[in-house]
Amino acid sequence: SKDIRKLDTDVDKMRIRRKDSEHLKVKENVFDEATLKALYDLARKGVIESLGGSISTGKEANVFLAEGKDKNIALKIYRISSSTFNSMDEYIRGDPRFSNIRHKKKDIIFAWTKKEYRNLMRARECGIAAPRPIDTHKNILAMEFIGEGDKPYPLLKEVKLSEQSAQTIFGTIIHYLEILYNEAKLVHGDLSEYNILLDPSTLEPYLIDMGQSVTLEHPSANDFLKRDIRNLTRHFKKYGIQPDEEELLRIITEK
């Protein structure tokens, strides 16, 4: 109960009423005690000034809008407890043989969060349009908010383009894949119209969701790249863009 009181104080400091946080916990399944604590750490550090609404609830993470120092930021919060894990936990808790399991799972998630931070950093350093990573702590990645006001830019999936705009955007993305491969030495690994945000006024495509991106040494790097190319060409086909996938692979990798 002392722990609970401590948590209550932390929650108050985050200006999230306990009732709200429990509501969020049920609804979004992200604000477990450890995540609240991590959010509080980031607030105390000055990275987060206040928490905004939910932008997305994905398979492994939730993305929230937040106020940063003097601008909006996006918080990607990897879920520590998936629903299946919760039911497992009921059986595992209190059994000394499993005292390690929760920590191991957490460590993997924390490492994954750091990996996304580093991948974004590497991509940005090479001049690719991607959210600038701001900080990473436990299962939380704080990054530049890609959007206008409080509204994220639309996914490539959601926009209708003229054939000419599509051509330009496709060219930019292929150029980014070249840089990603040759300079950042990375393959995105989950590239598709679902992981590209588009600035509708400048037509700049932003590559997002780089947790799974791998270095070129990864045994599946080339297969991932082929799949990324296939996803892209599949999407752009409707705009009359039908490049040869083998040729694209050569352009990207044989520089």
Task: Residue 2: name its binding partner from Mn ion, ligand ATP, none (Cβ under 5 to 8 Å by kind).
Answer: none
Backbone angles phi, psi at 241, to 5 degrees: -95, 115
Catalytic residue annotation: 190, 209
Q: Measured from the CB of residue 195, what is the shortest distance to Mn ion in angstroms?
A: 5
Q: Which residues contact 218 (CB under 8 A, 6 or more apart)?
A: 187, 224
Distance CA 103, CA 98 (A): 10
Long-range contacts, 157-161 (Cβ 8 Å, 24+): 157/192, 157/193, 157/194, 157/235, 159/198, 159/200, 161/239
Interface residue with ligand ATP among 10, 14, 35, 76 (CB under 6 A) is 76
Q: Kindly state the DSSP code that residue 227 receives in the 8-state scheme.
A: H
Q: Which residues contact 151 (CB under 8 A, 6 or more apart)?
A: none
Comparing every residue's Cβ against Mn ion, the nearest one is 209
In this structure, the chain runs to a length of 255
Stretch that binds ligand ATP, among 40-48, 60-68, 80-88, 97-105 (CB under 6 A): 60-68
What is the contact surface with Mn ion in residues (CB under 5 A)? Answer: 195, 209
Distance CA 83, CA 86 (A): 5
User: Which 235-254 positions form the footprint of ligand ATP (CB under 6 A)?
Assistant: none
Does 56 help bind ligand ATP (rule: CB under 6 A)?
yes
Q: Among residues 187 and 208, whose Cβ is nearest to ligand ATP? A: 208
Interface residue with ligand ATP among 61, 128, 169, 173 (CB under 6 A) is 61
Does 55 help bind ligand ATP (rule: CB under 6 A)?
yes
User: Which 136-155 positions form the footprint of ligand ATP (CB under 6 A)?
Assistant: 143-147, 152, 155
Please report, as ranges, the residues that interact with ligand ATP according to CB under 6 A. Answer: 55-56, 58-61, 63, 74, 76, 131, 143-147, 152, 155, 194-195, 208-209
